[in-house]
Structure formats: structure tokens, C-alpha cells
Structure 1
Amino acid sequence: MRAVIELIWNSLDADANKVTVTLDRNVADGIVGVAVRDDGLGMSPERVEQDFKWVGNSWKLGARFTERENRPLHGRLGQGRLRAFALGTRVTWETVGQDATGAFKKTRLSSTIDNRNDFTGPDPVDAQGPTYTEFRAEGRDSLGRLEGDAARPRIGGALALHLLTFPTIEVRYDGVKIDPAASIERETLRDLSWSYGGVERRATLRVVEWREVKGRALYLCDEQGLPIEETPIRRFADFNFAAYVLWGDMAEHANEAMLVDLEQETSLLGSLMQVAEA
């Protein structure tokens, strides 16, 4: 699921307004592949050369907003390509973008799990617009966790604040539109304040209670509401909700949440999580 969510974010970072996730099934109705297609800006041959040279080499590394719509960027580390191999042993990207002269060019790259840092394909060719990117994964037969009814709540939770902020975006998963606004029963905002290292700090907690969506989740977000990390709910609750902790310094603490329970001394992020969960 994290791989699918990361691929959707990649599409949104490319200024897509429509993202479609399709699940490929075999004759026994088992999920054996995934495709993610968007109507974003695509990638020029120059961008492909830069971004696929090695994992972590992304144009987004020094950027904060998308190129056309000026929306907040989510991914900056190029991790979507590496996580994509959770969805298949062979992955392919096909994209139409505009080169430096404005001409449309189609580029197709693929790789296998045994050579995951080596993306190869034919030379870019002339193409017609509009721009798009399509990702496809195949080669696995154990993707049952992607089944629509089970997966949509988690996708909706991860994207909820972004989709609520930018209602022109449409994400469809396995034929069904992700629509967090239609599932909200109640929202609560609360200011968080805590002291760490002798410094007073502030964040915001936004709790969304779901009407029909099942599940509970805690998302650690930057000040724009973009999730940096999803963590388990460690406190019992008898209702379905997503809790979003918005903090301007959250991106600096990516991947630290999993270590909080192992820390001998409470860290800055750990102290924030304690306040949020209280």
C-alpha cells in the first residue's frame, strides 16, 4: 500500500489533476499487477535522464512547490521508484513530456527487481500531446492487500487533507473515486504546545472522524498537511478516525517514528507524539 500511495503522490507532484489506479487480475480474480496513470506534466527526456540515474536523484530535492499548479510537493527523495518493486518483479514507466524546445517526446523505461537501479529503454521518440505518465508493475501474485474495499480507506486517509484542499484533483482506485469529503462525520482542530530542550514548541492536531470508512490512523505531516509518515494508533478508540499532526519541522524527522518506542530518552518527535496522543 505504501508503494501505491507513493506513486499517487508522484503523480500529484507532477501536477496531475486525474490519477487512475488499475488492478490487474488473473482468471481466479487474484491481483497480479498494478497500473497508475496520470494526466500530469510527464517527464522530458532530460528529466528522465536526471531522475532515473540513481535512486534519490530527484528534481524535487530542492523544490517546495509543483511547477504548474504551485501545490505543495510531497516527495523529494526519489523513493517511489524503489518502493515500486513491492508491486512487481518488473516495473515500467511510460511518459510523454515536453523537451527544452517544447516538442512532445515519449520515453519508456523498465527495470527488474534483480537490477533495480538499472532502468533501460529505447531512445525517446516524437509524440503527440497531451502529457501523461503511466506506471505498470507485474510479476507478483500476492497482492491481495490491494483489494479495493480494504485499500481505499488507507489511500483516502493518506490523501485526505490534500484532496480537501485541492478539490479539482480526482483520484480513482479500482474504479471508485477517492472522496474523503463525503465520508467525514466530524472534524476537530486543536493547538498543541510542548516544551523540549528548554524551547516552547507548537503544532496542530487535526482529527477527522469518518462516517463509513473503517480504521484508525495517525499521520505525521508538515505544516501543509502532507504526510511524512504514517504510524500505528497506540491508544484505544471506539470510533473510526484519522489524526493528522501538522508541524513545520516534521520533514526533518522522517523515518524517526518507528524508533520512538525504542528510545531510552524521549526525543523531540517522541515528545510531540506523546502530546498528540494525550
Structure 2
Amino acid sequence: SRPASSSTLVGSVHLLTELLSETDPDSFTHALWLRDMARAAVQELKIASSWEIILAATLSRISFLTLPTGLANKARARRELSPPEQEVVSQLPEVGSRLISKIPRLEGVSKIILYLGKNFDGSGFPDDKVAGEDIPMGARILRIFDDLAHLSSSETSRYRILTLMQERRGWYDPDLLDALFPLFVPPNGSGSAEDEDMVEVMANELHLGDWALSNVTSEDGQLLLALGSRISPSSLEKIRVCAALTGIREPIFIQKRFTKAVAGGA
């Protein structure tokens, strides 16, 4: 029965991710970014059994499939919601968890998704007594990354973003936030108001290997490249096409990853 169960698992996950990519490309792009950040985190934290966390990141936005397009857009941007809309959006972790729970062997993934909106002090959804380290570690990790992505839409410095998060007492696991801080501060970052290696560029000045220090979006709000992503041949071509068709929100903040190594003769 194990091969059959594995086949069901892989097939179900593939179906859900394909459906999300076709129905809500922006949520799918965010989920892929979150998956990449989760991989970096489990490596940094040396988590041995990490597949549930990575898969939870991949499926974290699956509940958005249940929303009308307009409400999904508002929820994704965290815009102001009416009371009925807020009630629906607040239940998204439970909806996602319920969808995932129907897939064999994903009980742990389902629990991570259920607690994505839970604060470290126990407040938030779900309304239960679970708090602190009793919240699944995967949920605590993904909560940090999810808020990082949102804050990056209005802040350009990763240092300022994480400083703001550290000031939100009770929201995040403070030990995890400290441990993950190095993943988002540029090398040799000093903690000053500006990131030392951050550069403002226009879309036509982007190069392969640059790292995005802000979300790259089209003029109509489509996410093209998420904060923390490296510019690949495919993403660079996508940005160039979009720049020609609809325009890109500029300037774009990047880190030229290899500048110091070249300058130092490495």
C-alpha cells in the first residue's frame, strides 16, 4: 500500500499546485518564494526532517482557490476588508488545513497550515490555547517569511523590515527571528539605516545574478520577482517583456551579489 499512498500524495500535491498556478498565478509565485525561503531556513537551522515545512510553504496559499478573485486580490495585498470579508479571510488557514488533511500522510503539513496566522503569544487564529513552542515550528518559520514579503512592498531595506518585526512583541518566535535574520541582511550589513550593498536601478539595468531587495512588480501590480530572489535568465526575460508591454514600477532595489568579491580580487 505504500507505493499507492506515495503515488496518491504526489499526484494530489501536483494537482493542487497546478490548479493554483493556473487560477491564481500571484499566489502561486508567492508560494514558490516561500518554499525557497523555507529551504534556506531549514538548512540554516539544521532541521533534519524538513519536508513537511517545505511542502507546507508550497501549499500555503491553496485556500485562496476558494475566494472570489476580487477578495483574493484584497487579501493578498492585505488591504482593508469589510467585516464579512474579514471573517472569510480569517478562516483561510482552517480552509487550507482542511483541504490538505484529505491527502494521505499530510497530517503534519495540515497542522502547519492551520497555525500560519497564530501569534507566538497565543493570540490570533485558531482561537485555542496553543502558544509559544507548542505552535508547529513550520508555522512559526513561515509566519516570519510571509510577513517579510508583505512588509517588503512598502519598505526597501531588509534591515528596517526585520527591525520592525522585532518590535512587534508577541507576534513572532524571537529566537527564530534572530536565527533567520542573517538570511535577509546583506553580507557585511552593519545595522545602519541603509543596507550597504543596496543599489537603485531601472528595469533595463538589471543583470543575471543580481538579488532583488524589493519585490519587482508591473505597473498594474503583478508580482514578477519576489524579494530575496536571484535574477535568472527566465525572470530577466519576463521583466523585459513586461517592461515593454505594461511598464515596471521603478526604481528597483537590488544587491549586486558579487561586487565585493570582484573588487577584492577574490
> One fold, TM greater than 0.5?
no
Normalization by structure 2: what TM-score?
0.29
- Structure with more contact order per residue of length (Cα contacts < 8 Å, sep ≥ 6): 1
Normalization by structure 1: what TM-score?
0.28
Structure with more helix by fraction: 2
Structure with more strand by fraction: 1
